[in-house]
Chains A and B, each alone.
Chain A
Amino acid sequence: MPISYHEERHFGEFGGQYVPETLLAPLEELTEAYKTFASSEEFQKDFKRIVSEYSGRPTPLTYAQQLSRDLNREIYLKREDLNHTGAHKLNNAIGQILLADRMDKERIIAETGAGQHGVAVATVCAYFDKECIVYMGEKDIKRQSLNVYRMELLGARVEPVKTGARTLKDATSEAIRDWVTNVENTHYLLGSVVGPYPYPDMVRDFQAIIGEETKEQFQTQTGTDPDGLVACIGGGSNAMGLFAPFLDNEEIELFGVEAAGEGIDSGRHSAPLVTSGHGVLHGSKSYLMSDEDGQVQTPHSVAAGLDYPGVGPQLADLKEKGRLQVKAVKDDQVIKGFKYLSALEGIIPALEPAHVFGLLAEEPDWLGDCEQVVINLSGRGDKDVLEVAEYEGRDLLAGGEAE
């Protein structure tokens, strides 16, 4: 194939394959396998069977009565919190493990921040009897010890990453280094719609089952399509999964909520779409938090799953074209959102989707004229209960009030 620019591997000016030469061959192999297998009838049949029999799909679409009254419009929740392992992450892990199996890769590596993707990968590796190595920043290992233990129970080896800021971005870099070195027998099971082509397309397509089910369920329940879709955005896989099947209908409005952390002005946030500097990290061009010399900044969010300085290139393109509206919400308001949905609907959300509820509780008018809105409830909040209690000054393990 002569050297030329591949438009189809980009989203407008974003995406692409910004990788060292060594990675081009394995990415080509993956692209080939993805194109050959993933769309085949047999593969789709396997995928549908496993997400149903193992993972419990389809997840429900729940009409949220109290929330609807409070926000003065019809609100539906897509219940990814009821997916096996407690979040949408498993959808992509199942799709990619099926692909890895067809590529005869026996060794699976992954990066994780909060541990949700790591747990999903460890889960499918147990189910498919594959060797599993999860790279995780040393700092994240300390603050997410429960998920580290879960991964170990599932048979994975958690490899501490001691470089850089010792968080998700460093774990991702380390996973890429491993892949470059062991590509013969290894599949890199990337967890979000980031990275070089074909990852943003592939992860989106495996997550699109969220939007496909939503479309069908919404039709059944209301006889129409929703006019607004809302999701939290870290790397953006739950957002792209919900949005993807609706992109053709320009009348449907898309809303994304990023993490403002301690405030955009404080610099301690994870809101690359809101702060909108362009950049290249981990193989694709997108929006990225980096300083004037191009050094990537350390992100911050109370939700470890949003703690990433970049974002999926397709979301960058949707924002650039004016199709996606984005706002960021601060940690303290996220805690309010967490408690708000719990008390209102009897559903404890993960801190990641709690960003959406925190924002809407404060600014319901953001949804404008949208009358029928679907919010992606991307994960359940059990994992976050201790952290929220701690944020509020309560130490549950000590059995009383913290100092």
Chain B
Amino acid sequence: MNRLKKVFKKRLEAGQKLFLPYLCAGDPDLETSRELVLTVDENGADVLEYGFPFSDPVADGPTVQKAGLRSFDSGVSLTKVFATVSDLRSETELPLVMMTYYNPVLKRGEDWFLEHTSEAGFDAILVVDLPPEEGLEFYQRAADYELETILLATPTTPPERVRELSQLATGFIYYVMVTGVTGARTGYDTKLAERLQVAREACEIPLVAGFGVSNYEMIAPYLDYVDGVVTGSALIQKIEDNLGEPDKIKSEVEQFVRNLAEPLHS
């Protein structure tokens, strides 16, 4: 069984929720980024969404955009990210999601991208701007490379579509809790709980929620409807706030991951 499937099975059978942090590969540099993968693993992350940055990330707010720029400045490339992940596989069994935009996939060719993503040691793929209407074959072919697929749903996605998305995706549905871009927030729309509940009922595979989550308290009211929680910007902020101090970055990330993973696993 695929590493991703295994960890979902383990947590859900134990009645626990999963914690899925997001990091941008190569942020703030390839070496620190590599170590942070191990840090989040050791401190309770169940899955890591490991982003390959894109020059024009329309779904991302300023924090993730800046992470991408730091990563480019550090000389990130697909080849380097694949090499890093491949190398990491001797040290960690943490399920990894390749999260990116479609142009990097298209430019290399869909099959090339899927093959190398899988061979490097990723377990799943999420392409932010490839809705299933444009990517039916791509998502079906991912199975040939033993990659799970992840599709997005949002508060404006009708329940019938959530059901269909969940029949196409094999990994999980990533529910975007806000209508907007990524970025830490202080609260959610009052209708969110109701909408999440409807989505949860329509969804036939695990559903995890993200966008805007900066601490456990924010997500706690919604835990009945989700199987896991993603945080990106709030975690990346720890990197931005401590640039030039790799040890500080590591300890802050460590603390942040624990603060979310522990209550989610209890």
Contacts and interface: CB of A to CB of B under 8 A. Distances in A.
Partners in one complex: yes
Interface of A: 2-6, 16-22, 24-26, 163-164, 169-170, 173, 176-177, 180-181, 183, 277-283, 285, 288, 290-296
A17 B131 CA distance: 8
A24 B129 CA distance: 10
Give the residue among A5, A21, A278 with the most B Cβ atoms within 10 A.
A21
Contact of B181 (A4, A19, A181): A181
B106 A3 contact: no
Give the residue among B55, B151, B154, B161 with the most A Cβ atoms within 10 A.
B55
A261 to B, nearest CB: 19
A3 B133 CA distance: 6
Interface string B32-63: 00000000000000000000001111110110
B102 A280 contact: yes
The 3 A-B pairs with the shortest beta carbon distances in the complex, nearest first, are: A294-B104, A294-B107, A25-B156
A24 B157 CA distance: 8
B61 A177 contact: yes
Contact of A290 (B77, B107, B134): B107
B129 A283 contact: yes
Interface in B123-173: 128-134, 136, 151-154, 156-157, 161, 164-165, 168
Interface size class of B (residues with CB under 8 A): 35 or more
A12 to B, nearest CB: 14
B71 to A, nearest CB: 11
Given A20-B129, A22-B176, A290 B103 contact: yes
Contacts of A177: 58-59, 61, 180-181
A279 B107 CA distance: 7
Given A21-B176, A22-B154, A22-B156, A280 B133 contact: no
B179 A183 contact: yes
Contacts of A21: 131, 151-154, 157, 176
Nearest to B211: A22
Nearest to B62: A163
Contacts of A278: 106-107
Contact of A282 (B56, B61, B152, B156): B56
Contacts of B77: 293
B88 interface: no
12 contacts: A5-B136, A21-B157, A25-B157, A169-B56, A177-B61, A180-B180, A277-B107, A280-B102, A285-B134, A290-B55, A295-B103, A296-B103
Contact of B133 (A17, A22, A288): A17
Contacts of A283: 129
